[in-house]
Amino acid sequence: MIRATSFNGKTVAVFGLGSSGIASARSLLAGGATVAAWDDGAAGRDAATREGIPLVDLSQTDWSQFSALVLAPGVPLTHPEPHWTVRKARASGVEIIGDIEIFARERAAHAPNAPFIAITGTNGKSTTTALIAHILRHAGRDVQLGGNIGRAILTLEEPASDRFHVIEMSSFQIDLTPTLTPTVGVMLNVTPDHLDRHGSIENYAAVKERLVESAEIAAIGIDDDFGLAMLQRRVQTGPAIAFSAEKSLAPGYSLLDDTIICSNREALAVKLTSLRGIATLRGKHNAQNALAAVGTVRECLNWLGQSSDLDWLGALSSFPGLPHRMEEIGRIESVLFVNDSKATNADSTEKALLSFPRDVFWIVGGKPKAGGISALEKYFGGIAKAYLIGESSEDFARTLEGKVAFERSGTLDAAVSAASRDAKASAGAEPVILLSPACASYDQFRNFEVRGDAFRKLVEAIPGVVMRGAS
């Protein structure tokens, strides 16, 4: 645990008692703070009670006593309107921060040179974060992985000069981290998402940019206009590297066929490793993730004065991938089952359809995002049949009508059964049963992980299927 010593002797409000909120309260208590914790839901309050965290109804208390409000990232800060705790904090002049801000202050106070890599972007940040951590571990480094992926940051080991913290950050978390100063800040891409929480894509992009503005080194993907503009601004103020899966760069990290190359300003290129045949890094979007990871690790080690001559091929080829993100989970004869439950919007599903361009038996649907799946129409030619689940079914049926064969399966179990029947009867060389919903899960499942786990269990139950990793 990271102890919040910077709040020793102070009284701090904590609102939102999920995993990060509970971790924040425990960290503050361990650091010597007085904590007043609250949650609008009984489940959160019950969890805090089990952990011995003091509860105070923040709607009925005097806010002048608080030095800070530690807010869970899921609680609205600005849009669609500030949460009631935010309004109370602002009215009393109480600063509003998140758990990663506590980490940033502890790092600054006790280990300011500790390596800290922070990653953001609309898509690919979880894969890139996990891949950076994997590369560093493969090279024998002490790595702590967390933030918006895996463990809450304050449950990790404390910052140290020989310990790398590799932290995924959502836009919500960046908004709550005013003193964010990573060694390397990585910004992958910007596409429309969470606009209900930021008001506009311009506001959303501006929050993402804060992560690279304050970094010692900025690593920025330039395959969209927002990223390119961020790079152009950043090079005026500090060290920056660019990476692109679409353009040749000098200087920067880019692809030559399937090979990652690093070019300097004189366009002299160093070939680092090939991505050919690495199933867990399939597709152009994963090429961007790999470019970001390799470039980030290489530049970070150089900045620290350490050798960056690593076994790049060994590291990338041993990367296991992420659960629920284009995860190849099993086969039955030539039919491949792919769990892409983490694709909760059309932009994420686009990456899967690009990676599997033909003979796709597509399980799609759930709680729809703005725009639905109309942006995916250019890929419909590779879809053999679609199986519609969840509350988006009728809307998606209208989009697919006359373009793709489909059936309204309703539930995931019915969709898996029907897709298995049809894929096994297909004449395709490698039919793919792809769960890539392009939707949130909340209409039928608690989160995308639960949805993906349900898919795995359904596949496991199919007679004759061989699950990945099974002997």
* Paired tokens of 368: 């729809």
Angle (deg, nearest 10), helices 19-30 and 42-50: 40
CB distance 28 to 12 below 8 Å: yes
CA distance 386 to 437: 11
Helices and strands (H, E) in the chain, number of each type: 15, 22
CA distance 207 to 322: 26
- DSSP letters spanning 392-411: THHHHHHHHTTTS-EEEEES
Quote the pLDDT of residue 195: 62
Q: Which of 258, 274, 259, 272 is nearest to 301 (CA)?
A: 272
Q: Where in the chain is the domain with CATH 3.40.1190.10?
A: 100-317
The CATH label, of 2.10.109.10, 3.40.47.10, 3.90.190.20, 1.20.1070.10, for the domain at 327-467 is 3.90.190.20
Q: Using alpha carbons only, how large is the chain's radius of gyration in Å?
A: 23
* Paired tokens of 410: 């309703």
Identify the architecture of domain 100-317 in CATH: 3-Layer(aba) Sandwich (3.40)
- Geometric angle at alpha carbon 438, from 436 and 442, rounded to 5°: 100
- Show pLDDT as tens, one digit a residue, over the chain (471 residues): 999 999 999 999 999 999 999 999 999 999 999 999 999 999 999 999 999 999 999 999 999 999 999 999 989 998 889 999 999 999 999 999 999 999 999 999 999 999 999 999 988 899 999 999 999 999 999 999 999 998 999 999 999 999 999 999 999 999 999 999 999 999 999 986 666 666 788 989 999 999 999 999 999 999 999 999 999 999 999 999 999 999 888 889 999 989 999 998 776 889 999 999 998 998 888 999 999 999 999 999 999 999 999 999 999 999 999 999 999 999 999 999 999 999 999 988 999 999 999 999 999 999 998 889 999 999 999 999 999 999 999 999 999 999 999 999 999 999 999 999 999 999 999 999 999 999 999 999 999 999 999 999 999 999 999 998 654
CA distance 443 to 304: 47
Give alpha helix (H) positions in 199-261. 201-213, 225-234
**Is omega for the bond preceding 73 within 30 degrees of 0, making it cis?**
no
Q: Where in the chain is the domain with CATH 3.40.50.720?
A: 5-97
Q: Which of 468, 357, 442, 459 is nearest to 74 (CA)?
A: 442
Q: Where in the chain is the domain with CATH 3.90.190.20?
A: 327-467
* Paired tokens of 246: 């679409």
Fold exhibited by the domain 5-97: Rossmann fold (3.40.50)
* Paired tokens of 409: 């399966």
**Which residue type is seen at 394?**
E
| Cα torsion 180, 181, 185, 187: sign | positive
Q: Which of 153, 238, 171 is nearest to 209 (CA)?
A: 171
CB distance 66 to 89 below 8 Å: yes
**Which residue type is seen at 202?**
E
